Amino acid sequence: MQSIETILSQPLQIGPVTARNRVFLAPLSGISDLPFRQLAWKHGAGLVFTEMVASRELVTESRESQVRLRGDGIDPHVVQLAGREAWWMGEAARIAEAEGAHMIDINMGCPAKKVTGGYSGSALMRDPDHALELIEATVKAVSVPVTLKMRLGWDDDSHNAALIAARAEAAGVQMITVHGRTRMQFYEGVANWDAIARVRDAISVPLIANGDIVSRAAIAECIRRSGADAVMVGRASRGQPWICGELAGSDGVPAPGSERAEIALAHYRMMIEHYGEDVGVRHARKHIGWYLDTLAPGTSPAKKSAMMTARRAEDVLEMFAEALGDGTVSAALPAPLMESAA
């Protein structure tokens, strides 16, 4: 029997697209922006997914949607789209493909009220017929593989993931990801990996398990119980963009200590480069908090507060470097973007 390390290091085929290993970075709204994905990709993630891109906003040329669409230096580039109307989803998929997407992922899993309130995300699971209209429109619009991410169902009385997955595969979807919670659970409780196995029984395309993927031991148990072909890491990646590569046993994973501190500082510079100083400083605050929790948990509340309220990128960078124990930091900003991973 193969070891979990051997299983995770193997490539996975999704139509014509090859994932280089079987530990993927989840699409995380407000987190998996281009700088974060570039780092996760550089340090060994099997696939990385964009933040959720709103289909209508992309078609109407919203600046935020266009920024989220970028995939510089990442190949294959996977774009996740969200929406509630088939026409907008199809048009957005065409735009994403034209802009270089190698795969399109459909969001039917987001539990956020602002998303489900607009009948997108996991709210689509309440109306499988309508959901299939969106899936069919997306598949027909592009030549690249279309994949689907969803939850077990809306609540414990409506576990319909297996039904939707089977219909999605029949419509041409080439990979299914299931988060082992319902929408009403949000992120509470424990992911139900056994329930994901019902989806495994219903489909023949690759199945990806999501939810509580935090260690190799958890992955081994998840795969055993769910029958999944690969796993997707979500919240466990906060403050450690290298975790997917680490779990997959990839080359180039930074050693604990100064190497990881240097990546945290590089991430900060990349965010300033990507967003500009005003927006970048604000967007980076949550990442600084997660990095401090991971790499410098002894940082005092006063120092954390100073970093979270400072407005000049140079000031934040110097305080951040001091907290991480790196005395080599340069205050020069912005720094060039990292070189693309091979």
Q: Which residues are catalytic?
A: 110
- Rounded CA separation 303/318 (Å): 12
Tokens 């997914």 locate to 49
Which token pair is 39?
Answer: 């780092």
Cα–Cα distance for residue pair 108/243, rounded to 1 Å: 25
The encoded tokens of residue 137 equal 């429109």
- Please tell me the distance from the alpha carbon of residue 21 to that of residue 10, in angstroms, as a whole number: 5
Quote the strand ranges of the chain, DSSP E. Answer: 12-14, 17-19, 23-25, 53-54, 78-82, 103-108, 146-151, 176-179, 207-210, 230-233
* Structure-token pair, residue 296: 């410098």
Q: What residues contact residue 254 under an 8 Å CB cut-off, 6+ apart? A: 43, 242, 260, 262, 263
Q: In which residue are the tokens 């690249």 written? A: 144
Nearest in space to 155 (alpha carbons), one of 188, 131, 130: 188
Written as six digits, the tokens of 303 are: 């120092």
Q: Cis check for the bond before 301: say yes or no (omega within 30 of 0).
A: no
Q: What is the distance, to the nearest Å, from the Cα of residue 95 to the centroid of all Cα atoms in its chain? A: 20
If one counts every other C-beta atom within 10 angstroms of the C-beta of residue 246, the result is 18
Q: Name 49's bridge partners.
A: 78
Question: CA-to-CA distance for 81 and 96, rounded, in angstroms?
Answer: 9
Tokens at residue 13, please?
Answer: 């085929």
User: DSSP code of 326?
Assistant: -
3-state secondary structure of 109: coil
